[in-house]
Amino acid sequence: MNQIIHASPKVRKFARQLGADISQLKGSERNGRITEDDVRNFIKNQIKQQENPPKKSIKDEKKKLEFDHSEFGEIEVTQMPRIKRLAAPNLSESWRTIPHVTHHDEADVTELESFRKNLKDNFTGEKKKITPLAFIIKALVNSLKKFPHFNCSIKDEESYELILKKYFHIGIAVDTEHGLMVPKIRNADSKKIEDLSIELKDISEKCRNLKIDKKEFFGGSMTITSLGGIGGTFFTPIINPPEVAILGIGKIVERSKNLMLPLSLSYDHRVVNGADAARFCNELKDNLGENFAYKLSL
């Protein structure tokens, strides 16, 4: 059944002159009657679409595989864990929009490790088990105090206003069977080393048991991601927006009788430059080394 087009001869002629297919138009008047304004608006929209074609989704832009994987052998299709599915868009957006640069360095933690392993309870004389990460958190906070632009976020992408944070909430990347989670250690500057160690264990357990509040993943100053318990030296951690830097920690290695901690500092080059990153790492190394700033916070 042919569609009835409600338009006057004058409007039809006007449409032909402009090269508009009147059958594609929707009239704005009663019973769908087409007016000259409807024709004009149709032409304007066509011009806009030609100048600004709709963006293809990432899925559309992906090249179709010429051959299916199953043609080469046995395969299994599984669903990515929920936490990883939730994190994937944020990681992609971070890598796509933030100009990442990674500064690699090493900190001599020989004295720190000796100090940590010889800590004893004043009353029982038993050795205290404190994770190295607690000391690293304290050293990082002291570095952030000296370099406050590492503890900020970009407020506006157009004006590039910066939000300078007066608090010190350190994100900790926790590896779980569900995927990587990054809860925050709140007000790390006001907590003792031993308290930080206890809290680290507590939030890690909450993450692994999916019992942590969603709010605890937001409002951070800077994130630490550690591969020390697994292995490896240097890597390029992806910034956790809206933060502007992230500190990667490798496995402590012995070199010339000294214990060296690999450091990988990724930073947002819009906010932090290479000289800033080098100075920040130097400060961090001092705080982890002979300065023993962490001794004052036991």
With a cut of 70, say whether residue 298 has pLDDT above it: no
| Side chain identity at residue 45, one-letter code | N
Share of the chain above pLDDT 70, in %: 90
Per-residue pLDDT reduced to its tens digit, 225-256: 999 888 889 999 999 999 999 999 999 999 99
- Residue among 283, 236, 272, 279 nearest 150 (CA): 272
Residue 56 pLDDT class (50, 70, 90 cuts): low
Q: Which has the higher per-residue pLDDT, 195 or 6?
A: 195
- In this prediction the pTM is 0.75
DSSP secondary structure string for all residues of 62-77: SPPPSS-GGGGS----
Q: What are the structure tokens assigned to 224, written together?
A: 């630490």
Q: What are the structure tokens assigned to 265, written together?
A: 């500092």
Calpha distance 50→105 (Å, rounded): 51
With a cut of 90, say whether residue 203 has pLDDT above it: yes
Active site residues: 269
Report CA torsion sign: 246, 184, 110, 296. positive
Calpha distance 243→162 (Å, rounded): 11
Residue 137 pLDDT class (50, 70, 90 cuts): very high
Residue 280 pLDDT class (50, 70, 90 cuts): very high
Q: Which of 20-24, 64-68, 106-110, 201-205 is least confident? A: 64-68
- In angstroms, how far is CA 102 from the centroid of its own chain? 14
Residue 61 pLDDT class (50, 70, 90 cuts): low
Which helix (H) or strand (E) segment is 129 a member of?
none
Per-residue pLDDT reduced to its tens digit, 185-200: 999 999 999 999 999 9
Location of structure tokens 């214990």 = 259
For residue 234, the model assigns a pLDDT of 95
Share of the chain above pLDDT 90, in %: 54
Per-residue pLDDT reduced to its tens digit, 252-269: 999 999 999 999 999 999
The whole-chain average pLDDT of the chain stands at: 88
Question: How far is the CA of 44 from the CAs of 37, 40, 168, in angstroms?
Answer: 10, 6, 53
DSSP secondary structure string for all residues of 202-255: HHHHHHHTT-S-GGGGSS-SEEEEE-TTT--S---PPP-TT-SEEEEE---EEE
For residue 218, the model assigns a pLDDT of 94
Phi and psi torsions of 258, nearest 5°: -110, 150
- Mean pLDDT on 174-184: 91
For residue 1, the model assigns a pLDDT of 46
CB count within 10 Å of CB 81 equals 13
Residue 291 pLDDT class (50, 70, 90 cuts): low
With a cut of 90, say whether residue 10 has pLDDT above it: no
Domains along the sequence of the chain with CATH: 9-51 (4.10.320.10), 99-297 (3.30.559.10)
